Amino acid sequence: MKTKQFFIFSFVLLVFGSLHAQKTPIYLDNTQPIELRVKDALSKMTLEEKVKLCTAQSKFSSHGVPRLGIPEIWMSDGPHGVRMEILWDSWGHAGWTNDSCTAFPALTCLAASWNPEMSALYGNAIGEEARYRRKDVLLGPGVNIYRTPLNGRNFEYLGEDPFLASKMVVPYIQGVQQNGVAACVKHYALNNQEKWRGHINVELSDRALYEIYLPAFKAAVVEGKVWSIMGSYNQIRGEYACHNNLTLNKILKGEWKFDGCVITDWGGAHDTKQSAFNGLDIEMGTWTNGFTSNKAFAYDDYFLAKPYLKMLKSGEIPVSNVDDKASRILRMIFRTAMNVNKPYGSLANEEHHNVGRKVGEEGIVLLQNTANLLPIDASKYKTIAVIGENATRKLTEGGGSSELKVKREVSPLQGLTEKFGAAKIKYAMGYASGEVAYDRVLKPKYNTDSLKAAAVKLATESDIVIFVGGLNKNTQQDSEGDDRRSMTLPFGQNELIAEIQKVNKNVVLVMLSGNAYEMPWIKQTTTLVQAWYIGSEAGHAIANVLSGEVNPSGKLPFTFPVKLADNSAHAFGAISYPGDSINQYYKDDILVGYRWHDTKKIAPQFPFGYGLSYTTFGYGKATADKKKMSSDETIEISVPVKNTGTVKGKEIVQLYVKDLKSTEMRPEKELKHFAKVELNPGEERLITFKLDKTALQFYSDVKKDWITEAGKFTVMIGASSRDIKAKVDFELQ
For the annotated catalytic residues, the residue numbers are 265
Q: How far apart, in whole angstroms, are the C-alpha atoms of residue 285 and residue 293?
A: 13
Count the alpha carbons within 13 Å of 187 in the hemisphere toward its beta carbon.
27
Closest CA to 38 of 25, 19, 48: 25
Q: How far apart, in whole angstroms, are the C-alpha atoms of residue 623 and residue 180?
A: 44
Residue 457: count other Cβ atoms within 10 Å of its Cβ: 13
Spell out the residues 6+ positions from residue 164 whose beta carbon is closer than 8 angstroms to its own: 111, 114, 158, 557, 671, 674
Describe the strand order of the beta sheet including 182-188 as a list of residue ranges: 61-62, 73-77, 137-139, 182-188, 228-231, 261-263
Question: Is residue 383 packed enough to be buried (19+ CB in 10 Å), middle (13-18) or exposed (0-12)?
Answer: middle
Taking each helix axis from N to C terminus, what angle separates 448-461 and 493-503, rounded to the nearest 10 degrees? Answer: 30
Length of the chain: 733
Closest CA to 676 of 390, 227, 363: 363
Q: Are 400 and 480 in contact (CB under 8 A)?
A: yes
- DSSP state string for 577-607: TT-SSSEEE-TTTT--THHHHHHTT---SB-
Strands 527-530 and 507-512: parallel
3-state secondary structure of 632: coil
Would you give the distance in Å from CA 690 to the centre of its chain? 27
459-492 burial code (b ≥16 CB/10 A, e <16): beebebbbbbbbbbbbbbbbbbbbbbeebebbbb
Q: How far apart, in whole angstroms, are the C-alpha atoms of residue 401 and residue 18?
A: 52
H/E stretch holding 268 reads none
Q: Are 515 and 154 in contact (CB under 8 A)?
A: yes
φ/ψ (deg, to 5) at 522: -65, -35
Whole-number Cα distances in Å, 284 to 48, 166, 301, 400: 18, 27, 12, 17
Beta bridge partners of 75: 137
Note the maximum CA span of the chain.
109
Task: Give the angle 69-71-73 at the CA atoms, nearest 5°.
Answer: 165
**Cis peptide leading into residue 375 (ω within 30°):** yes
Q: How far apart, in whole angstroms, are the C-alpha atoms of residue 721 and residue 658?
A: 12
Whole-number Cα distances in Å, 663 to 553, 657, 699: 39, 17, 12
Beta bridge partners of 671: 656
Show the beta-strand stretches assigned E in 522-648.
Answer: 527-530, 583-585, 617-619, 623-624, 628-629, 635-643
Q: How far apart, in whole angstroms, are the C-alpha atoms of residue 730 and residue 713?
A: 6
Q: Are 190 and 202 in contact (CB under 8 A)?
A: yes
